[in-house]
Amino acid sequence: MAMPADASCLQVRNPATGKVLAAVTIAGPQQVQEAVERARAAQVAWGQVKPGDRAKVVTAFRKVLVRHAAELADRISEETGKPRHEALMMEVLPLVDLIAYFCRRAPRLLRPRRIGLHLLPHRRSYLHFPPKGVVGVLSPWNFPLAIPLGEVAMALLAGNAVVLKPSDVTPLIAIEAKRLWDACGAAPDLFQVVAGGAQTGRALVEAGVDHVSFTGSVAAGRAVAAACGQRLVTCTLELGGKAPAIVCADADVERTARALVWGGFANSGQVCASVERVYVVGPLYDALLARITALVRELRIGDPSQEVDVGSMTFPRQLDVVKEQVADAVTRGARVESGGEAPAGPGLVFPPTVLSGVTQDMRVMREETFGPVLPLMRVESEEEAIRLANDSHLGLNAYVFSRDTRKARRMAERVEAGTVMIDDVLATHGAPETPWGGVKQSGIGRVHGELGLMDLVQVRHVNYPVFKVPTELWWFPYRQKRFEMTIRLIRRVFG
């Protein structure tokens, strides 16, 4: 894949050092169309394979991934700028666990399911779940292995073929995953990768795929949804987040501080579920702010080829967004408790930044940051915290911290988010049992969990007779006698 960079190539850089890693050929509309056609041809036979036998093939892929876990972590770190530890713990481990989980359970989840009929005792109904066909996956740059390959594995287990368009910022790990798929002995055309930017993604949606799974920004998600709607193609959209954390006055300061520091700065804050705004009930504010600031100052920052806690950011434009939001907050009266300025030198490193004295009208509290910034706002009550947490157009994840779990659960149910965690952060994306997705403008549909698997199949209904009757009550010809009999039946059953 490596070649001199030109207009037909993506130049891939290590964001921590600026070093060019490779040049990747861009797939044009014709190449994308051909990939989809090959995938469709391969899917015909694959869709007829029993789910248990499909699981054996995907299990073989998982074993290849496990054998190459260390190399995958190194390559992810090099391409994204995240520490090797995060690449392993937040990408490789969750992926192989998800594959193992669904390889065990997909055959049962995809069995036909009987539906009880209360008014038609002489008939039966059941649902069955054939694959949709060819699934197009459009994936982001922040988790270039775990996010797309989880959806790839689930789509394959459901009987689909998959064409993956990775982010143009981080295409190399997807290409490596494709190489490992081929190495496991599976049919190569069942899983293909087409590299490129927005034009390649548009071509994939327009190439006749049967379902699109997209993870990315709200603006791009709108465009994908519009293109899918025009073609009456189903889609799953996992879009932006502005996750609030509500810290009650009775929260455990040490646990809360450690959770918020990791939830705000893991992957340099480039997680759709990152803690991006913290509402602290007054009495705890000063102690929590002091402990968070102290913990942040202990973090090791820099080139992830060294042993660090926080590496670099991945996408240059995102670094600009972070700088703009911090500058806006400071101009409006916020105080920088730690960090705040990018160091001199190459790379996209921005230090973990803690802001105090923020207000709800600041950009850092209203717009998605997607970077290592943790703003804390003092509130007077839990009711105010809930109101402000819900004051957003986004609703992917949220967090509540309290020693009183019953109270925290009641609060969590009032927060408008697809997932609310209590006394922890981020972790449920790594729990394959749980559905992942948002409300409001954070997306449509779910990935992971049984709901995510059902988004990748057709739900079809079959109705059949248990015993035959010569005619049905509602058939022609209509007669007065039958009308009167139906009236008596309605009165007896429903009166």
CATH classification at residue 235: 3.40.605.10
Residue 483 lies in a domain: no
Average pLDDT over residues 255-270: 98
Domain of residue 384, residue span: 243-432
Whole-angstrom Cα distance, residue 316 to residue 76? 17
Residues 196, 248 within the same domain: no
Residue 261 lies in a domain: yes
Residues 337, 221 within the same domain: no
List the catalytic residue out of 228, 235, 248, 272: 272
What CATH number corresponds to the domain at position 260?
3.40.309.10
Residue 439 lies in a domain: no
* Orientation angle between helical segments 51-67 and 69-80, nearest 10 degrees: 70
Is the separation of the CB atoms in 324 and 288 below 8 Å?
no
Residue 183 pLDDT > 90: yes
Residues 71, 159 within the same domain: yes
Residues 127, 192 within the same domain: yes
Average pLDDT over residues 262-287: 98
Residues 251, 171 within the same domain: no
Whole-angstrom Cα distance, residue 467 to residue 474? 17
Average pLDDT over residues 10-32: 97
Q: How much is the pLDDT for 26? A: 98
Average pLDDT over residues 320-340: 98
List the catalytic residue out of 78, 86, 238, 368: 238
Residue 2 pLDDT > 60: no
Q: How much is the pLDDT for 196? A: 98
Residue 88 pLDDT > 50: yes
Phi/psi for 317 (5° steps) reads -60, -35
Active site residue 71: no
Residue 4 pLDDT > 90: no
* Orientation angle between helical segments 172-183 and 51-67, nearest 10 degrees: 120
Q: How confident is the model at residue 17 (pLDDT cuts 50, 70, 90)?
A: very high
Residues 155, 183 within the same domain: yes
What does R_g of the chain's alpha carbons equal in angstroms? Answer: 26
| Tally of residues, the chain | 495
Residues 226, 255 within the same domain: no
Q: How much is the pLDDT for 7? A: 74
Residue 25 lies in a domain: yes
Residue 472 lies in a domain: no
Residue 2 lies in a domain: no
Last-in-domain residue among 432, 463, 489: 432
Q: How much is the pLDDT for 1? A: 38
Average pLDDT over residues 112-123: 94
Residues 320, 349 within the same domain: yes
Q: Is 400 helix (H, G, I), strand (E, B) or coil?
A: strand
Residue 486 lies in a domain: no
Q: How confident is the model at residue 410 (pLDDT cuts 50, 70, 90)?
A: very high
Q: What percent of the chain has pLDDT over 90?
A: 96
Listed in sequence order, the residues at least 6 apart from 41 whose beta carbon sits closer than 8 Å to its beta carbon are 189
Whole-angstrom Cα distance, residue 368 to residue 364? 7
Last-in-domain residue among 432, 464, 483: 432
Residues 199, 255 within the same domain: no
pLDDT tens sequence across 41-74? 999 999 999 999 999 999 999 999 999 999 999 9
Residues 419, 299 within the same domain: yes
Residue 165 pLDDT > 60: yes
Q: How much is the pLDDT for 344? A: 86
Residue 123 pLDDT > 90: yes
Q: How confident is the model at residue 345 (pLDDT cuts 50, 70, 90)?
A: confident
Q: How much is the pLDDT for 5? A: 46
Active site residue 337: no
**Mean pLDDT value across the chain:** 96
Phi/psi for 77 (5° steps) reads -60, -45
Our count of domains for the chain comes to 2
Residues 40, 146 within the same domain: yes
Q: How confident is the model at residue 6 (pLDDT cuts 50, 70, 90)?
A: low
Q: How much is the pLDDT for 319? A: 97
Residue 397 lies in a domain: yes
Residues 416, 293 within the same domain: yes
Average pLDDT over residues 424-442: 97
